[in-house]
Chains A and B, each alone.
Chain A
Amino acid sequence: MATATKIIFSGFGGQGVLTLGQVVADIALNQGKEVTWMPSYGAEMRGGTANCSVIISDSVIGSPIILRNIDILVAMNKPSIDKFLEKTSEDSKVFINSSIVTDPVEKAGAEVLAIDATNIAVSAGNARAANMVMMAGFLTKTGLFTIDELEQALTRRFAGKKELVDVNMKAVKQGLEALA
């Protein structure tokens, strides 16, 4: 079976987890890879926990749904841990927004990385950029893409709005500093 990277982004509606997934999917597309992005949708999105699945592969992707063996879990809140941690494996990487998930998170064998994302984003003057702080986890731990590729993706996404690119890249860099 072709190797694919299966990523779940999860958090409260409004924390930008769907956007995060789309940015990562866009980077993969521009790397010439196969990619799928699949959101939770409907009433579930409003008020509850939103999530999306991103699968990146060198070959054609079958199902866009991730039901087990999550390779990378980005959890922005506690319900995300409750829902998805059991579907990670001992080889998984788990990035946690430790500003909100204060209890310790443990998964045998898995690499758990706590990122104080919301606090970092708030101190940088933009709480909404907490999702971008989480990108630091990808940059330091996965090798899926470089910071330049991320900046290019944000430039595509916020076409013509350089200030938005700058704000988000600032959040990414602060996340990197915090992890350094």
Chain B
Amino acid sequence: MIEHSTVELTRADFASDQMVKWCPGCGDHSILASILGVFPKIGYKKENFCMVSGIGCSSRFPYYVNTYGFHSIHGRAAAIATGIKISNPNLSVWINSGDGDAMAIGGNHFIHLIRRNMDVNYILFNNQIYGLTKGQYSPTTKQGQITKTSPFGVIDYPFNPGELVIGSRGTFFARAVDNQPKTLVEVCEHMAAHDGTSVVEVLQNCVIFNNGTHAEVTDKEVREERQLWLKHGEPMIFGKNRDKGIVLNGTKLEVVTIGENGITEKDILVHDETTENTGIHMMLAQMRPPHFPMAFGVIRAYKQPTYKQLFEHQMEDAQKDAKIKCVDDLLNSGDTWIVE
């Protein structure tokens, strides 16, 4: 169990004395502000939070939060966080990583962290570009985009982080937007409460090297038509007039208008984030304009024994009826003999 604070904490308890060096207007600022708001709400002792990051703009995050923190090497945050969590299961471990850090150089660690259902919270800052190295395409950059290393347009097919998480047996995946802090805070609280690997993809804007990359879904003017905010147990309704919804037609999702063609609210698909079946979750993660809205909020939150639970259970079992209780026992076990 992670020990709670006996006193009420505020965001000031987590503010660091370091100068924040992200570019003015960077989406990272609002993600930081959200996290500083979320930690006091979660309520653990300050010393029990541990932030881990790799390399990239987003990976500077640990310096700006006054907790224990580890700014490591490119792509390896997941592996380092794994060692921290196995070593001390009573810590609340948070990973900050970008699209390149998590899914290019760190891709292997990312999928295996998720596969194991390690108990960590993973904030994936997706700005679809390498920012710190000044504008090369990343594994999530759109096909065709001109960047410094793709002067003729990107020919790689991009990863969709949600597909990767769910495909790696992820138990928790959510999506949020940097400039909608209220919903970001809600999603982060939800992820902290989930046992297992919780990944939130934050659509984050890089003002310098990829400005407006998410604009088609995040701009104020289009938001309501292009964002579907999921709530467990509620129908998947969106749109300025709350008249559009998602239905399952055969094996595919489809956008319908309530009140047209005999469609009523009852026909709209109701979100079940807890189901083991990944089918609808995967389809929700894949939705994107122009034919669909993009799904936000918690897409999947399936309960399954975590690495910590399984690991600690084995440890306890082994220690319960152990014949070898200390190293002296071990050294003297098996075939031994005395030389006089």
Partners in one complex: no
